[in-house]
């Protein structure tokens, strides 16, 4: 009986712990003025340039940004993969180019139950994975 009581008391904590959250990301590159990469992230989709992204925790310091393919125009596709998706050949290994370090906010890290010391997506190239509906970009976060 005690075990059942403990389970009932802990159930809300399990219900509110999250391994993934939805955020808005601006994919217009350096300083949001063109190029490739993410220039800002947040919980608001006020910007006409915002793209909805599912951020999923995949490790202690690793996250995946999952973006729905059907919602992306050709400009956003170029920001993600350097070219339109249809122009990527079968023998290419697509990569996402993050032109500038990006800092994730404390609120996002808390919602994902991530260690807040890992908050930076460093500039560089990151693997892109495609399926019929989504694009997944896997990032390793680093310390400040």
Name the residue ranges covered by the structural domains of the chain.
Answer: 18-143
Element (H, E) at 3: helix 2-16
For residue 27, what pLDDT band results from cuts at 50, 70 and 90? confident
- Global pTM reads 0.81
Per-residue pLDDT band for 129 (boundaries 50, 70, 90) equals: very high
Residue 115 structure tokens: 């260690």
The phi, psi pair for 83, rounded to 5°, reads -160, 170
Q: Nearest to residue 76, comparing CAs of 115, 116, 123, 29?
A: 29
Band (46; pLDDT cuts 50, 70, 90): low
Q: What pLDDT, on a 0 to 100 scale, did the predictor assign at position 49?
A: 77
The beta strand positions in 88-133, using DSSP E, are 95-98, 102-103, 118-121, 124-130
User: 34: which 2 tokens?
Assistant: 């063109």
Confirm if 69 and 79 have CB atoms less than 8 A apart: no
Question: Which tokens sit at 95?
Answer: 């990569």
| pLDDT above 90 as % of the chain | 58
């Amino acid at each position: 009986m005690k075990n059942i009581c403990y389970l009932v008391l802990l159930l809300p904590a399990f219900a509110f712990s999250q391994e993934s959250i939805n955020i808005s990301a601006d994919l217009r590159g350096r300083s949001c003025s063109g190029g490739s990469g993410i220039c800002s992230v947040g919980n608001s989709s006020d910007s006409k340039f915002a793209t909805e992204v599912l951020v999923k925790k995949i490790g202690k310091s690793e996250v995946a940004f999952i973006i729905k393919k059907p919602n992306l125009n050709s400009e956003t596709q170029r920001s993600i993969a350097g070219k339109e998706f249809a122009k990527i050949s079968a023998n290419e290994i697509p990569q996402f180019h993050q032109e500038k370090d990006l800092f994730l906010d404390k609120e996002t890290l808390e919602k994902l139950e991530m260690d807040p010391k890992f908050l930076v997506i460093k500039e560089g190239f990151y693997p892109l994975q495609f399926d019929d509906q989504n694009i997944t970009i896997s990032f390793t976060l680093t310390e400040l």
